[in-house]
Each structure stands twice: as structure tokens, then as C-alpha cells.
């Protein structure tokens, strides 16, 4: 039953929603409207799962004194403090959550983390970006053209460089991207059909029948 009922729900809903897409009747549209509400409500339950797994993962790390366990304490404290402030004093603009936790803690921390990337990227590119093969050399040349063409200094070096960068993005890059997108889309359709038809059951997780 644990497996049969979810499989039946997925099969019925999967086929129904596929058919619904092509039926503009008010009943069909009403049903579609209702299901989008359901999806939003069910989606909100992901918060419960996420919070649960977050607490379990970090508690386990602290208990076993794994590497960096003290950061897990900070994470757990941050979770509790943010939740308490949000639930106790509200989340509206002007609240402590917005003015202190968001504007004064999250924004600068988040921005700092991302800004550090520039330094790591410079160091990593210097150490790892080698033209060892013809393909790597081609990638290197393309990277040079795009990186210079995307900033004003590129145009200052050579006026045609931005156009060349645009061509690299519009022609070879797009051909490759399109092939990837087609592959991903076809893979997505195949996987969706396998899930709907009950061939792919990984999403059911472990456990007994």
C-alpha cells in the first residue's frame, strides 16, 4: 500500500494534467486552477522536510564531533534565533527580522561570500587553465575573446573585440547550448514518462511494501 497508492496518484494525476493542457473547458480550467493551489500548499511542506533534515544533519555533526562541528552549532543557533524572531516579532518590512537579520546580517554576509569568488577564480585560473591540448587551447582563446569583449577595456584594445565576443556567444556557444537543451529536454520527458508509468521508482525512497 505504501507504494501502490503513491504510484496510482502519480499515474492518474500525470495523465490527467497532460490531457487537461489541451482542454480549454471551464471545468478543466477550474481543475487546473485547483491543482496549482495544491502544488503551492504541498510545496510549503518542503520547509518542514528541509528544516528537519537540516537539524538532523547538524545535530549529528555536533554529536560525533566531525570536522568543523562548531560551525554546525552556529548554524543551529542561527536557525533558532531567526525562527524565534520571525515568529515572535513578525516578518513585515521594518521588523527586527528585516532590519537586523536580513539587512544587517544576511545581505553583507551573502555579498561578501560572492565577492570572495573573484579572488579564488583568479588564483584557480592561474593554476589550472593550461593549454595542454588543442581543445584546451581553443577554449582558452574563446575565453580570452569573451572575457575581454565583455568589458570596456576590450573595446579600447580593439574595436571589433566586442563584436567577436558576441559572435562567439551567438554562434558556436548557442549551437552547443541548444544541443544540451535538447538533450536535457528529451531526458526530462523520458524520465517524466518513466515516473508517471511507474518504471522509475527512486522517488518513493526505501522502506518495505
Partner 1 sequence: MKFFEYLLKIDRRIIYIVMGVLVIIPLVKPLGLGVSSGPRAKTLFDAVDSIPAGKTLLLSVDFDPSSMPELYPMLAALMRHAFAKDVKVLLCGLWVTGAGLADKAVTEIPPEYGKKYGDDVVYLGWKAGIDAVILGMGENIRNVFPTDYYGHPLESLAMMQSVQRLRDIPMAVAISAGTPGYTDWLNFAQSRYGLKLGAGVTAVSAADAYPYLQTGQLTGLLAGMKGGAEYEVLIQKNEYSKAYMPAVAAMDSQSLAHVVILLLVIIGNVAYFATRKRGA
Summarize as ranges the residues that interact with partner 1 (CB under 8 A).
29, 32-33, 36-37, 39-40, 43-44, 46-47, 92-93, 98, 102-103, 106-108, 110-111, 113-115, 118-119, 121-123, 125-127, 129-131, 140, 143-144, 147-148, 150-156, 162, 166, 169-170, 173-174, 177-178, 181
Write down the least CB distance from residue 58 to partner 1, Å. Answer: 20
How many Cα atoms sit within 13 Å of 32 on the Cβ side?
A: 14
Contact between 196 and 12 (Cβ < 8 Å): no
Write down the least CB distance from residue 96 to partner 1, Å. Answer: 13
Contact between 12 and 197 (Cβ < 8 Å): no
Closer residue to partner 1 in complex, CB, 13/169: 169
Closer residue to partner 1 in complex, CB, 119/203: 119
Closer residue to partner 1 in complex, CB, 73/147: 147
Q: N- to C-terminal Cα distance for the chain?
A: 7
What's 206's DSSP letter? S
Contact between 146 and 169 (Cβ < 8 Å): yes
Amino acid at each position: 500500500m505504501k507504494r501502490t497508492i503513491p504510484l496510482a496518484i502519480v499515474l492518474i494525476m500525470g495523465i490527467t494534467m497532460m490531457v487537461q493542457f489541451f482542454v480549454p473547458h471551464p471545468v478543466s480550467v477550474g481543475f487546473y486552477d485547483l491543482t496549482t493551489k495544491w502544488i503551492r500548499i504541498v510545496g510549503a511542506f518542503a520547509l518542514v522536510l528541509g528544516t528537519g533534515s537540516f537539524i538532523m544533519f547538524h545535530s549529528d555533526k555536533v554529536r560525533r564531533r566531525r570536522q568543523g562541528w562548531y560551525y554546525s552549532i552556529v548554524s543551529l543557533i542561527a536557525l533558532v534565533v531567526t525562527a524565534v524572531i520571525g515568529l515572535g516579532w513578525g516578518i513585515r518590512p521594518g521588523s527586527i527580522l528585516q532590519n537586523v537579520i536580513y539587512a544587517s546580517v544576511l545581505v553583507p554576509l551573502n555579498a561578501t561570500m560572492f565577492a570572495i569568488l573573484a579572488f579564488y577564480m583568479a588564483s584557480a585560473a592561474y593554476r589550472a587553465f593550461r593549454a595542454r591540448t588543442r581543445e584546451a587551447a581553443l577554449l582558452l582563446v574563446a575565453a580570452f575573446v569573451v572575457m575581454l569583449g565583455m568589458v570596456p577595456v576590450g573595446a579600447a584594445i580593439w574595436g571589433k573585440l566586442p563584436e567577436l565576443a558576441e559572435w562567439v556567444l551567438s554562434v558556436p556557444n548557442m549551437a552547443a547550448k541548444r544541443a544540451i537543451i535538447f538533450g536535457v529536454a528529451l531526458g526530462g520527458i523520458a524520465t517524466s514518462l518513466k515516473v508517471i508509468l511507474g518504471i522509475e521508482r527512486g522517488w518513493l525512497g526505501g522502506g518495505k511494501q
